[in-house]
Amino acid sequence: MQANTATSVGAYANGESVLKAVPASSEKPGDKSETKHDALFERVSTRLKAQVGQDVFASWFGRLKLHSYSKTVVRLSVPTTFLKSWINNRYLELITSLFQQEEPEILKVEILVRTATRGARPVGVEETAAIADAAPVAQARRSTGPQPIAQAVSGLTPPAPLRQPAQTPLFGSPLDARYTFDSFVEGSSNRVALAAAKTIAEAGAGAVRFNPLFIHSSVGLGKTHLLQAIANAALSSARSPRVVYLTAEYFMWRFATAIRDNDALSLKETLRNIDLLVIDDMQFLQGNSIQNEFCHLLNMLLDSAKQVVVAADRAPWELESLDPRVRSRLQGGVAIEMEGPDYEMRLEILQRRLEVAKQEDGSLDIPAEILSHVARNITASGRELEGAFNQLLFRRTFEPQLTVERVDELLAHLVGAGEPRRVRIEDIQRVVAKHYNVSRQELVSSRRTRVVVMPRQIAMYLSKTLTPRSFPEIGRRFGGRDHTTVLHAVRKIEDLVASDTKLSHEIELLKRLINE
């Protein structure tokens, strides 16, 4: 909870918060009453923190500010509608009573959504925290990359006119106004996805071309950026379509809450009337009843030619935890994979970040050779690049003469931090089938002839050793076999590899082919 003159910018490298002073109160700076009210607000904050604990406080009240104050009414502000309803539903009584304990004249506390002067965060902490609380099914976290080390450092948010989404979506997770098509760097790895995204954002009502559009890539390669760019662009278009941007986790949480509050009908009614549904992190959608609801929604929107855009960390046919009906509908549109950025793209991402940073602080600079050095060495994803850039900016404020060697030292943890290329079971099946001159259909069929049994067992063994998939999952991908069959195949090939040098070389060769 912050005093009324501070904007939180989060926790950084040293774990401390960095605060920047921007007036937030409706009262004039310098008013005596302002100081008095700030002090009151601070006291209530301290009591609230003591009452709910540090973690809950940090999750829900870290960005609560004192907005204005009259004799009997205190108005507090938060940056998102979501946070407002969360606090209203769960903590308003407590906050009101804490204020009343300090100032008995206070009758009411109101929570408002402030018009942010800085870009909204990407979908984040409070939504996922809420879901973890309300629907503990979604434990997987979306970001494995470095946390924003220094959003505190000026320059990570574009100049004022770009920061605000033209409109906020009807419902759902907040949009980050920095995520636009303009700030999205195009290259061979994402050109098709970008073109499809722009077509959708520009399309008029009824001009549904790729439906649903399914964008997939491994982490940090710009899916969220692209999805939010679609939503931001559609919202600012003259057509004023009704746009909903949601993470799958938010969807789950929202439905779970609506069902609990007997409010599912009105939620469905709201969703029924939208023009564009954008769903991020689809891999986290879990739970039978929620998937059922999602399936109805998807069917209804697709059948009435409303556009749906989905992103996930894998292709629709690989979303094994999804209800087969949902998976099948998702496969009915266009799936586009985005690859990692090449050197030119990485350099451009860094250059654009620097331009934005300079617009906020003209004295900032990072020499071109350092930028290109970073672009050459941080190859993993946009998220690692973002982390590297933030580190550099942060460091340059107190180490103005950064050398390439020093940069290497600072970014050592990010160099080569990319995940190894994700191997897919279908790639394994394709390579193995080709190598042994059988068809992929035969590999997954029930045929038990010698020519196909051994390649199948090898493919199962490789699926277990090269992918994180479980025995039952692999069984399903090989024609719905039982997990014990997979287990048997893996053990058998392991034993053979230990004693048969020829087979062991063959397996090594297959691994190389699969990883190519």
Binding residue (CB under 6 A) for ligand ATP from 76, 153, 213, 219: 219
Q: Spell out the SS3 assignment of 35-80.
A: HHHHHHHHHHHHHHHHHHCHHHHHHHHCCCEEEEECCCEEEEEECC
233 near ligand ATP (CB under 6 A): no
Q: Does 176 bind ligand ATP (CB under 6 A)?
A: no
Q: How far is the CB of 249 from ligand ATP (least distance, A)?
A: 11
Instruction: Give, as ranges, the residues between 266 and 305 that touch ligand ATP (CB under 6 A).
Output: 281
* Environment class of 42 (CB within 10 Å of its CB; exposed 0-12, middle 13-18, buried 19+): middle
In sequence order, what are the residues at sequence separation of 6 or more whose Cβ sits closer than 8 angstroms to the Cβ of residue 265?
none
* Burial (CB count within 10 angstroms: exposed 0-12, middle 13-18, buried 19+), residue 369: exposed
* Binder of ligand ATP out of 185, 231, 256, 459 (CB under 6 A): 185
Q: Rounded to an integer, what distance in angstroms lies between the CA atom of residue 219 and that of residue 142? A: 8
Buried b (16+ CB within 10 A) or exposed e, 86-106: bbeeebbeebbebbbeebeeb
Question: Which has the closest alpha carbon to 230: 218, 245, 216, 217?
Answer: 245
Nearest in space to 200 (alpha carbons), one of 239, 161, 174: 239
Closest CB to ligand ATP: residue number: 382
User: What is the C-alpha to C-alpha distance for residues 213 and 309, in angstroms, rounded to an integer?
Assistant: 5
Rounded CA separation 49/83 (Å): 17
379 binds ligand ATP (CB under 6 A): no
Residue 334, H or E segment: strand 334-337
Provide the minimum distance between the beta carbon of 446 and ligand ATP in the complex, in angstroms, as a whole number. 37
Closest contact distance (angstroms) between CB of 413 and ligand ATP is: 17
Q: Which is nearer to ligand ATP, 244 or 452 (CB)?
A: 244
**In the β-sheet with 334-337, what is the strand arrangement from edge to edge?**
171-172, 243-247, 276-280, 307-312, 213-216, 334-337
Classify burial at 199, counting beta carbons within 10 Å of its beta carbon; exposed 0-12, middle 13-18, buried 19 or more.
middle
Nearer to ligand ATP (CB atom), residue 219 or residue 302: 219
Residue 171 per-residue DSSP state: E
CA dist 445 and 436 (Å) reads 15
Closest CB 375 distance from ligand ATP, rounded Å: 13
**Closest CB to ligand ATP among residues 88, 183:** 183
The pairs formed by 125-131 with CB atoms below 8 angstroms and a separation of 24 or more are 125/59, 126/59, 126/60, 126/80, 126/82, 126/83, 126/86, 127/82, 127/173, 127/247, 127/249, 127/250, 127/253, 128/247, 128/249, 129/59, 129/60, 130/82, 130/86, 130/253, 131/249, 131/250, 131/252, 131/253
Identified binder of ligand ATP from the candidate list 217, 257, 291, 457, rule CB under 6 A: 217
Region from 22-30, 79-87, 215-223, 230-238 binding ligand ATP, contact rule CB under 6 A:
215-223
Query: Is 403 assigned to a binding site?
Result: no
Q: Which of 119, 165, 169, 220 binds ligand ATP (CB under 6 A)?
A: 220
371 sits near ligand ATP (criterion: CB under 6 A): no
Beta-strand ranges (E) seen in 180-306 are: 213-216, 243-247, 276-280
Q: Does the footprint of ligand ATP cover residue 349 (CB under 6 A)?
A: yes
Among 118, 121, 223, 477, binds ligand ATP (CB under 6 A): 223
Instruction: Select the residue interacting with ligand ATP from 222, 241, 340, 455 (CB under 6 A).
Output: 222
Out of 126, 249, 323, 386, name the contact with ligand ATP by CB under 6 A: 386
Q: Minimum Å distance from CB 339 to ligand ATP? A: 11
Taking CB under 6 A as the binding criterion, the range among 264-272, 380-388, 418-426, 467-475 that sits at the site for ligand ATP is 380-388
When the beta carbons of 221 and 357 are compared against ligand ATP, the nearer one is: 221
User: Which residue, 140, 312, 339, is CA-closest to 221?
Assistant: 339
Size of interface with ligand ATP, in residues (CB under 6 A): 21
Distance of closest approach, residue 204 Cβ to ligand ATP, in angstroms:
26
Contact pattern from residue 414 through residue 453 relative to ligand ATP, giving x for each residue in contact according to CB under 6 A and a dash for the rest = ----------------------------------------
Q: Does 216 bind ligand ATP (CB under 6 A)?
A: no
Q: Does 158 bind ligand ATP (CB under 6 A)?
A: no
Residues 111-150 that bind ligand ATP (CB under 6 A): 142-143
Smallest separation (angstroms) from ligand ATP to the CB of 313: 5
Q: How far is the CB of 147 from ligand ATP (least distance, A)?
A: 12
Minimum Å gap between C-beta 40 and ligand ATP is 38
Task: Specify the residue, 48 or 185, whose C-beta has the smaller distance to ligand ATP.
Answer: 185
- Does 224 count as an annotated binding residue? yes
Interacting span for ligand ATP (CB under 6 A) from 30-38, 221-229, 266-274, 480-488: 221-229
Sign of the alpha-carbon torsion through 115, 118, 122, 128: negative
Interface contacts to ligand ATP, rule CB under 6 A: 142-143, 183-185, 190, 217, 219-225, 281, 313, 341, 349, 382-383, 386
Q: Point out the annotated binding site for ATP.
A: 220, 222-224
Q: Point out the annotated binding site.
A: 220, 222-224
